[in-house]
Chain A
């Protein structure tokens, strides 16, 4: 346990002594603030599903809502779209966090020493994974900060927050990121090259997003549509973003995380056996 904690601390410190974590955090803060502002200040922008209909009605009848600027239901109308957009942002950002987690140790040969210390592969992989999750947790906490804003403004600008669905969305976001990071670890373990690791995990995440909306196409056979929807990370998080907690979705993400970490360990083991 002491060994594990020491390694975990070193990994966290390693993230924060290099620019990469800061770059990712800054880009994420900027983009999330941007998308939040769009959703917040322009509540009937394209992030609202009801956008076209309501806008049409408003144009026909400006006095429809008593002439006031309409007060949206913040939680229902804005948050799902906001979370959805942010998960696309994660597809681009998380590979930057995971790319060097293991590949760097392989390239520099430091993994040879790790392997000869009294440590198990599980300890090594978990310490690195949890350290990466620490960085990601900072990102998720930022989202909670955004949720506090409508409360502080007491509904003056937007609606009042409904905490349960809003937090379910944060959970969805967190699970999505946890799964994306675990998938990225596989690629970090199979190559010594950080760029290759980043490119491969980006490609996989992009694919898992694209199959989600490709599944909605018209000529897709029913069973393919089901498979695509089941495996698409973005699809799987949709219901959570809307505040619908399904055990199946949570179990799905948990399985992706454990499965990926297991494959990561196997990849390391085979790397070692090959010498």
Chain B
């Protein structure tokens, strides 16, 4: 439904996106994940025909965004990051204006306007001036204007930014619900948003795509091995030795700071080892026994889930190392495991 190939955008001296390529299948919801300044908005603006790319090609709904822009525009709904609306109009008049601009007429238009207003939950607000609406409700108006022509493709630039937690949840479920058969690209820098709303995720960092896959694959839910995180107090080398001797164990390594399980009590002097075992065998009992037999105090044992956050940090820091900015990579890996990704972005800026 959306095919992007080797897009580049250069603003004067800023090379905002480099060789960006990805695809979105029909009906899919793609999370477009990246820190501030990664190039999300730039990519979306190219897809919506706001401005052309410096090089590369993109197709939306089967039409080229450079040569067949009119066809593309008829088939997309776009919600820009800043949600620019005509503040001096009331909700209904504004949505009706957009419906007319998008070419709807007569009875169809009336119906479409009414339906979209009720779909986004604005019926009680439809006579209200947009400037008197709260941010969350403005976001709904933004969604309504994007949806009013029943577009095949929906492009949403950070639809939950600046909202309170309750509104965020409401908008997310609205997006998921309204997506229906549509193909959706949703940009965000909030990781849970992606796991909650999207089927697939494409991670962009400093203008490059650094990872692109289903969430299950990225978080290794289908991997051949699973890792078990063992936390204990006592001599580490002895435990390591006995685990290595255990039949079936694939590898044993020390956990990095951010890979440690988040135990809130009694973490003093504890160390954590990660033991990889085949996912089709259950060695947990044997592993636990091996640990206690080596005379240490086992305080925690759990399968380690790879969070999207880790995938993100790994992808991003691999890219940074690849780049040459070691400074960024080290700030990233040294950061607290509990730190939200938005925290990293502050540092990256």
Task: Point out the residues of chain A lying under 8 angstroms from B82, CB to CB.
Answer: 109, 112
CB distance from B199 to the nearest CB of A (A): 25
CB distance from B332 to the nearest CB of A (A): 28
> Is B87's CB within 8 Å of the partner chain A?
yes
Assuming the A-B contacts A115-B49, A116-B48, A118-B70, are A18 and B101 also in contact, with contact meaning beta carbons closer than 8 angstroms in the complex?
no
Task: Point out the residues of chain A lying under 8 angstroms from B84, CB to CB.
Answer: 108-113
> Is B31's CB within 8 Å of the partner chain A?
no
Interface positions, chain B 99-122, Cβ under 8 Å from A, are 100-103, 105
List residues of chain B with CB under 8 Å of any chain A CB: 9, 11-12, 42, 45, 48-52, 70, 73-74, 76, 78, 80, 82, 84-89, 97-98, 100-103, 105, 145
Contact present for B97 and A10 (CB under 8 Å): yes
Contact present for A116 and B73 (CB under 8 Å): yes
Contact partner of B45 (CB less than 8 A), chosen from A6, A14, A275, is: A275
Complex: chain A residue closest to B49, CB-CB = A116
Enumerate 28 A-B pairs (CB-CB under 8 Å) in ascending A order.
A3-B102, A3-B103, A6-B101, A7-B97, A7-B101, A10-B86, A10-B89, A10-B97, A14-B86, A109-B82, A109-B84, A110-B84, A111-B84, A112-B50, A112-B84, A113-B78, A113-B80, A116-B49, A116-B50, A116-B76, A116-B78, A117-B101, A118-B70, A118-B101, A118-B103, A274-B12, A275-B11, A275-B45
Complex: chain A residue closest to B105, CB-CB = A2
Assuming the A-B contacts A109-B84, A110-B84, are A273 and B51 also in contact, with contact meaning beta carbons closer than 8 angstroms in the complex?
yes
Assuming the A-B contacts A109-B84, A117-B98, are A2 and B51 also in contact, with contact meaning beta carbons closer than 8 angstroms in the complex?
no
- Contact-residue size bin, chain A (C-beta under 8 Å from the other chain): 20 to 34
Interface string of A81-118 (1 = CB under 8 A from B): 00000000000000000000000000011111101111
Assuming the A-B contacts A274-B11, A275-B11, are A110 and B50 also in contact, with contact meaning beta carbons closer than 8 angstroms in the complex?
no
Q: What DSSP secondary structure best describes chain A's contact surface?
A: helix
Complex: chain A residue closest to B45, CB-CB = A275
Contact present for B87 and A108 (CB under 8 Å): yes
Interface string of A217-230 (1 = CB under 8 A from B): 00000000000000
Complex: chain B residue closest to A108, CB-CB = B84
A117 to B50, CA, bound (A): 9
Assuming the A-B contacts A3-B102, A6-B101, are A118 and B87 also in contact, with contact meaning beta carbons closer than 8 angstroms in the complex?
no
Task: Point out the residues of chain B lying under 8 angstroms from A5, CB to CB.
Answer: 100
Contact partner of B97 (CB less than 8 A), chosen from A6, A17, A112, is: A6
The 5 closest A-B pairs by CB, nearest first: A6-B100, A109-B84, A110-B84, A116-B48, A118-B73
Count of chain A to chain B residue pairs whose CB atoms are closer than 8 Å in the complex? 69
CB distance from B38 to the nearest CB of A (A): 15
> Is A119's CB within 8 Å of the partner chain B?
yes
> Is A272's CB within 8 Å of the partner chain B?
yes
Complex: chain B residue closest to A17, CB-CB = B88
CB distance from A124 to the nearest CB of B (A): 10
Q: Which of A5, A6, A18, A108 has the most CB of B within 10 A?
A: A6
A147 to B342, CA, bound (A): 69
Complex: chain A residue closest to B47, CB-CB = A116
A14 to B45, CA, bound (A): 27
A111 to B80, CA, bound (A): 11
Task: Point out the residues of chain B lying under 8 angstroms from A113, CB to CB.
Answer: 78, 80, 84-85, 145
Contact present for A112 and B11 (CB under 8 Å): no
A273 to B52, CA, bound (A): 7
Q: Which of B11, B50, B74 has the most CB of A within 10 A?
A: B50
Task: Point out the residues of chain B lying under 8 angstroms from A109, CB to CB.
Answer: 80, 82, 84
Contact present for A110 and B85 (CB under 8 Å): yes
Contact present for A3 and B51 (CB under 8 Å): no
Task: Point out the residues of chain A lying under 8 angstroms from B103, CB to CB.
Answer: 2-3, 118
Complex: chain B residue closest to A107, CB-CB = B84
Contact partner of B50 (CB less than 8 A), chosen from A3, A108, A272, is: A272
Assuming the A-B contacts A112-B50, A115-B49, A118-B73, are A275 and B42 also in contact, with contact meaning beta carbons closer than 8 angstroms in the complex?
yes
Contact present for B87 and A18 (CB under 8 Å): no
Task: Point out the residues of chain A lying under 8 angstroms from B48, CB to CB.
Answer: 116
